[in-house]
Amino acid sequence: MAAARILIVDDDPDTQRVLGYTLKQEGFQVLVAVDGAEALRVREREKPDLILLDIMLPKLDGYQVAERIRAEEGSVAHVPIVMVTAETDIEQKVRGLRAGADDYLVKPFHPAELLARIRSLLARFAPRVADTTGHAAAGRVLAFYGAKGGVGTTTLAINAAIALQRDQGRRVVLVDGNLQFGDHRVFLDLGLDRKSIVDVVVAPTIDQDLLKSVLIHHDTGIDLLLAPPSPEMAELVNADQHHMTQIIELLRQRYDYVIIDIDKRLDETNLDVISASDVVFVVMTADLSCLKNVRLVLETMSQLGMGSGRVQLVLNRSTAYTGITVKNAESALRRRIAYQVVNDYRVAITSLNTGAPFAVARSDTALGKSVVEFVRQADRLDASSSDATELAPATT
C-alpha cells in the first residue's frame, strides 16, 4: 500500500523541517506549502491524504483555507484537516472546527501525539476494507450523547455495546466518558477498587501494554475502561495533553467498536471525543424540553463541522405516550430519527438495580430485541450513507 501523503502548510522553515522529519521517519510522504494560496494549489494538484494546517499564514489564513477546501470538495471527497496553532482558547478551537477542521493541535506538542492524531484521522476516513475474519481494518468510534439528563443514554450505551458483542460477534470496548459522575460501575455491579482511566493518564506514557493492564474484561464479554472512582480525579484527564484522543486511537487499533458514553458538557475533553468519533448518537425522548435541547445540539454539532451523517438521532422509549409522535418530532426538528428503541420501564429499572444488563439477562424482552435491532442497523453503517438527513422545511 502506498504511503499516505501529508501536506504541511506552514510559513516557518523550522516547523516545516521538524514536522517533515518526523513524518518521513514514520514512512509518510511529505508535501509543503508556505502560504494559504499555495496550499490550495498543492491540494488541488497533489491530492494529499491529510493536511496539517497552521492558522497564522500569509495571503489566506488557516480558517479561510479550510473553508475553501470544504466548499470545493463538497460531498464527493473529504481530506482530513488538522489545525495547528499556538492558541489555547477553546473559542479558537471551535472556530477551526466550524471552518472544516477535523482535529486541532496546540503548539508545542509531542511527536507521538501528532502521529496518533494523524493515524486516527487516516483510519477514520480511509475506505473500510474487511479482513478475512470479517473485522473492520480499523475500529469505529461511536459516541452516545444525551440530549438531556434522564433519557437513558448510559443504559443504551451499555446494552448496545453488549449486543454488538453478543449478537454481532464484534470486539467491543466500552468507555465511561462521564469522567466526574460515571455510572458504569453501578450499572455493571463493579466496585471502586477497579482500575480506571486515571491509571492510564498518570502513567509516563500511554501505550497498548498499559491499556491492556487497565481494561476490565466483563462477564458480558465486553471490555471496559471505567471513569475515575471520585469526581475530583476527573481533572487528571488532561484536555491540554489530549488524553482522550490518545486513548481512543489506541483502542481503535484493538477493537471493532469503541463505544463512549459522554456527558453533555461541550468542554475540551468532550470536543476531543466528538472529533474522534465516526458517529455521535444523540439520545432523546419525545417531550418538548428534550426536542428543544436536540435542536440546540444539532445546531452546535453543525457549527462544529459535524455532517448530518455523523450525528444520528436515537429516540429512546419510543412507545411511551407523550402526546408527541415520531412524525411530529421529525417535523419539529426537520430531521429524521434514525433509530427507535421501545419503552419498557420495568425491565430497564430492574436491570439497573440488579447490575445485570437486560441485553444479557432479559434479551428476549421487547426492549432487549429492540436494542439488538438498533445495533444490527448501526453495525458497519457508513455514516455518509445514513438516513439521518435533514428534512425539507414543511410548506404551509
Q: Scan for cell 510522504, then name that residue.
A: 29
Spatial neighbors of 378 by CB under 8 A, at least 6 apart, are 142, 160, 279, 281, 339
Report helix, strand or coil for 193. Answer: coil
Top pLDDT among 300 and 395 is at: 300
Q: What is the mean pLDDT of residues 367-387?
A: 75
Whether the pLDDT of residue 10 is over 50: the answer is yes
Per-residue model confidence (pLDDT) at position 173: 96
Burial 191-228 (b: 16+ CB within 10 A, else e): eeeeebbbbbbeeeebeeebbeebbbebebbbbbbbbb
239 pLDDT tier (thresholds 50, 70, 90): confident
pLDDT over 80 at 395, yes or no: no
More confident residue, 80 or 305: 80
CA distance 332 to 323: 14
- How high is the pLDDT of residue 384? 40
Q: Which residue has the cell 461541550?
A: 266
* Of 52-66, 145-159, 289-303, 371-385, the least confident: 371-385
Higher pLDDT, 300 or 283: 283
Cell 502560504 identifies what position? 35
Spatial distance between the Cα atoms of 96 and 86, rounded to a whole number of angstroms: 13
With 60 as the cut, is the pLDDT of residue 142 above it? yes
Domains annotated for the chain, with CATH where assigned, are 5-125 (3.40.50.2300), 140-385 (3.40.50.300)
Residue 383 pLDDT: 41
Does pLDDT of 146 surpass 80?
A: yes
Tell me the mean pLDDT in the region 306-329. 90
pLDDT of residue 131: 42
Query: What's the whole-model pTM score?
Result: 0.69
Rounded to an integer, what distance in angstroms lies between the CA atom of residue 293 and that of residue 182? 21
Contact between 217 and 101 (Cβ < 8 Å):
no
Q: What does 130-189 look like in DSSP terms, one character per residue?
A: B-TTS-BSS-EEEEEEESSTTS-HHHHHHHHHHHHHHHH---EEEEE--TTT--HHHHTT
**Average confidence score pLDDT of the chain:** 86
What is the pLDDT confidence band of residue 304, given thresholds at 50, 70 and 90? Answer: confident
- Closest listed residue to residue 138, CA positions, set 152, 157, 124, 159: 124
